[in-house]
Amino acid sequence: MELHQLRYFVTVVEAGGFSRAAVRLHVAQPSLSQQIAKLEQELGQPLLDRLPRGVVPTEAGRRLYDRARRILAEVADATRCVADCRESLEGRLVVGAIPTIAPGLLPRLLAEFSEQHPKVDVQVVEEVTERLLQRLDEGQIDLALASTVDVQTAIHCEPLGKEPLGLLLPARHALARRRQVTWTDLQGEKALVLSELHCLARQVNEFCKTRSVRWHVWFQAAHLGTILEMVANGVGVSLVPQLFAPIANARGCRWIPLDAPRPERDINLLLHNLRYRTRATLAFAALVRRAAQRLGWMTEATK
Amino acid sequence: MELHQLRYFVTVVEAGGFSRAAVRLHVAQPSLSQQIAKLEQELGQPLLDRLPRGVVPTEAGRRLYDRARRILAEVADATRCVADCRESLEGRLVVGAIPTIAPGLLPRLLAEFSEQHPKVDVQVVEEVTERLLQRLDEGQIDLALASTVDVQTAIHCEPLGKEPLGLLLPARHALARRRQVTWTDLQGEKALVLSELHCLARQVNEFCKTRSVRWHVWFQAAHLGTILEMVANGVGVSLVPQLFAPIANARGCRWIPLDAPRPERDINLLLHNLRYRTRATLAFAALVRRAAQRLGWMTEATK
DNA sequence: CAATTCCATAGGTTTTTCCTATGGCAGGTA
DNA sequence: TACCTGCCATAGGAAAAACCTATGGAATTG
């Protein structure tokens, strides 16, 4: 058994066929047939059911598939770990963040990080929490920033504190000059909300339900950017994280904090427990923690 | 990176040199040099320090070594797991046991198991507890029987109950006709004990210390078999597990139980938590549990 | 100082992997 | 029915990888 055979096998299962897998792997289809056949011969039984339309793993294939993925992930981890013991901080760092955190927080963090560690090639993956967890688990990202998370055993979830939410208004709105607004001010406003795919949407819904605020939902947007533009054009208002205050100002909106009970969302730093943490990963995590303190997210309880 | 390169690398580290590793791997030494060089090139740094006498892993090499071993163990595990899903119960089963359990218990168990599952190739590894744990961890044995164990996180340690120890006497000894002996009977007897490598020796010492029994230690043997022969020839007496009673009888000795507080040792079944348990492994484990009940090891507390 | 041990390199051989071309099989379509 | 179409297996030759023997240099040992 060799690693390239496991790679081939995993890809064939995921692609659902030899031909499609061959395209993804940049090899000819017969090479896959050969290598899989060899693997099956070595293991003494078929791993794939050849159907007219493609292939499906057998019982043995399913067993191998799970383990092969873990093995390949560990090989990748070993590579990272070994590469990390060179003296200078270099290599690739993949940071994940949910879309309601990324645009407000990452630009500053990335700029600061790249200044300190110019040789590190930083990449950003912006996805919803569930997908971040999945990719973290697969070793595709080194660390992630998210809000509320269903903790999995293999994931280390570190609270960074609580970030306040506030009212997003057009600059000309009647409430836009206030230093603060109350929950009753929201009553009856035309609201723009996010798609329920985003955890922020679910959190906002929850807040409104418990505060018995009823507002007219006009529009369900896929991105906060869309909402920002809509609000700037006077279509309605929204409840968004403080991180978006500077962006809001720049686009002709205002962000006003809400009176007690102040709505907040958790911010968590996610790391994988079983994977090697490169020095770049640790450095970025430290940077994130400092930023969390600077932004006043750390409450007494979480400090 | 390929698995055979990892296998080569691990062997070179463990052998402490290319030449020695080449012998173990049945390949020519230059092949190793080539493959390791390739690995080093791919990882971008040296993995081994070439010293005049042999080689020693660098920092990067040490990091890779640990992970490579885990990866290879998982590959072996995957092979076992896949092989286990064929219909009939076959394959290899490696059973570990400490030397003070193996000869007394395994013959009967193995006979019974082989009768039920003739296609399974059963092997026995007889070693002291520490080595058993090590080999269990490395995936070289499927399950093990031992006494007191320093529980490691990855090892599942299942109590099978407590086995009584008793006095081993020559058949002509004055006490040999008794149905039971007391601790005071032991006082002043010439004792034959095991090497401290065996946990039984430590346990016996402990018992004697707490019961304030002082006996003359004449001989420290490496195997219970030696002690049995010495006792049979009237050199002294010993404190041995009940499992050895039938063997003792056959060799002209007698095994007499001790009065309360009856000395006992724990018997534990060890399995690896993270490894796949073949159906043969589970079948053998079930057989062991039944044997433990039949032998009356299971007390009320452990049932 | 010679003999030994150990690893690296060179050059050629064997083995493995990969590619192109082709064939068979099943499903869908005219 | 006949005819595509998509998919995988097989065959045979080309490319690549792994391996072996022979040899050389460096440090150690007797």
- Over its length of 303 residues, how does chain B's per-residue pLDDT go in tens digits? 999 999 999 999 999 999 999 999 999 999 999 999 999 999 999 999 999 989 999 999 999 999 999 999 999 999 999 999 987 888 899 999 999 999 999 999 999 999 999 999 999 999 999 999 999 998 899 999 999 999 888 999 999 999 999 999 998 888 778 888 888 887 778 889 899 899 999 998 888 888 877 777 777 888 999 999 999 998 889 999 999 999 999 988 999 999 878 899 999 999 999 999 999 999 999 999 999 999 999 876 555
Reading the block at residue B32, the tokens are 């190793």
User: In this model, does residue A49 exceed pLDDT 60?
Assistant: yes
Q: Hey, what CATH class is A163-264 in?
A: alpha beta
Query: Given this model, what pLDDT does residue A260 score?
Result: 77
Residues carrying CATH 1.10.10.10, chain A:
3-83
Nucleic strand D contact set for B 32-71 (CB, < 7 Å)? 34-35, 38, 52-53
Return the SS3 of B48. Answer: strand
Other C-beta atoms lying within 10 Å of the C-beta of residue B199? 20
The single-letter DSSP state of residue B235 is S
Q: What is the bridge-based pairing of β-strands A143-146 and A253-257?
A: unpaired
CA of A33 to C1' of D9 (A): 8
For chain B, the first-to-last Cα distance in angstroms comes to 50
Q: How far apart are CA A64 and CA B81, in angstroms?
A: 8
**Given an 8 Å threshold on Cβ–Cβ distance, is B74 in contact with A67?**
yes
Is any atom of strand D within 7 angstroms of residue A5's beta carbon? no
What are the residues whose beta carbons fall under 8 Å from the beta carbon of B222, sequence distance 6 or more? B194, B195, B197
Contact B124, B110 (CB under 8 A): yes
Query: Given this model, what pLDDT does residue B178 score?
Result: 83
Give the distance from residue A41's alpha carbon to the nearest chain B alpha carbon, in angstroms.
12
- Any idea which fold B88-303 has? D-Maltodextrin-Binding Protein; domain 2 (3.40.190)
CA angle B201, B202, B208 (to 5 degrees): 90
**Given an 8 Å threshold on Cβ–Cβ distance, is B85 in contact with A63?**
yes
Q: Find the residue in A nearest to B77 (Cα).
A: A67
What mean pLDDT value characterizes chain A? Answer: 92
User: In this model, does residue A118 exceed pLDDT 80?
Assistant: yes
Return the SS3 of B145. Answer: strand
**Given an 8 Å threshold on Cβ–Cβ distance, is B43 in contact with A83?**
yes
Residues carrying CATH 3.40.190.290, chain B:
88-303
- Any idea which fold A3-83 has? Arc Repressor Mutant, subunit A (1.10.10)
Q: Find the residue in A nearest to B1 (Cα).
A: A3
C strand bases under 7 Å from protein CB? 5-11, 17-21, 25-27
Q: How far apart are CA A264 and CA A241, in angstroms?
A: 8
Report chain B residues whose CB lies below 8 A from the CB of A67.
Answer: 74, 77-78, 81
The pLDDT > 90 percentage for chain A reads: 73
A92/B contact by beta carbon, under 8 A: no
User: In this model, does residue A298 exceed pLDDT 90?
Assistant: no
- What separation in angstroms does the CA of B118 have from each of A65, A104, B110, B112, B122? 30, 67, 11, 10, 9
Query: Considering only A149-153, A187-191, B17-21, which range has the smallest mean pLDDT?
Result: A187-191
**Given an 8 Å threshold on Cβ–Cβ distance, is B43 in contact with A79?**
yes
Report chain B residues whose CB lies below 8 A from the CB of A81.
Answer: 63-64, 67
Query: Given this model, what pLDDT does residue A281 score?
Result: 96
Residues carrying CATH 3.40.190.10, chain A:
91-160+265-294, 163-264
Phi, psi (rounded to 5 degrees) for A242: -55, -30
A39/B contact by beta carbon, under 8 A: no
Is any atom of strand D within 7 angstroms of residue B28's beta carbon? yes
Query: Given this model, what pLDDT does residue B100 score?
Result: 95
Q: Find the residue in A nearest to B85 (Cα).
A: A60
Other C-beta atoms lying within 10 Å of the C-beta of residue A38? 14
Of A277, A65, A280, A290, residue with least CA distance to A160: A290
| Chain A interface mutation, best of B85, B88, B273, B276, highest count of A Cβ atoms under 10 Å | B85
Reading the block at residue B136, the tokens are 């269990």
Confidence at A205, pLDDT banded by 50, 70, 90: confident
In this prediction the pTM is 0.86
A89/B contact by beta carbon, under 8 A: no
The single-letter DSSP state of residue A189 is -
Reading the block at residue B102, the tokens are 């193996």
- Facing residue for B68 by CB, picked from A2, A4, A78: A78
CB-count burial class (<10 Å; 0-12, 13-18, 19+) for B129? buried
CA of B18 to C1' of C10 (A): 19
CB-count burial class (<10 Å; 0-12, 13-18, 19+) for B124? middle
B291/A contact by beta carbon, under 8 A: no
User: In this model, does residue A5 exceed pLDDT 90?
Assistant: yes
Q: How far apart are CA B176 and CA B218, in angstroms?
A: 20
CA angle B37, B43, B48 (to 5 degrees): 50
Phi, psi (rounded to 5 degrees) for B76: -60, -40
B153/A contact by beta carbon, under 8 A: no
B83/A contact by beta carbon, under 8 A: yes
What is the identity of the amino acid at A52?
P
> For the structural domain made of A91-160+265-294, what CATH number should be given?
3.40.190.10
For residue A16, the Cα-to-chain-centroid distance in whole angstroms is: 27
Phi, psi (rounded to 5 degrees) for A43: -85, -5
Contact A152, A133 (CB under 8 A): yes
For residue B79, the Cα-to-chain-centroid distance in whole angstroms is: 24
Confidence at A300, pLDDT banded by 50, 70, 90: low
Q: How far apart are CA B206 and CA B193, in angstroms?
A: 12
Q: Is the peptide bond before B52 cis (omega within 30 degrees of 0)?
A: no
A85/B contact by beta carbon, under 8 A: yes
B74/A contact by beta carbon, under 8 A: yes
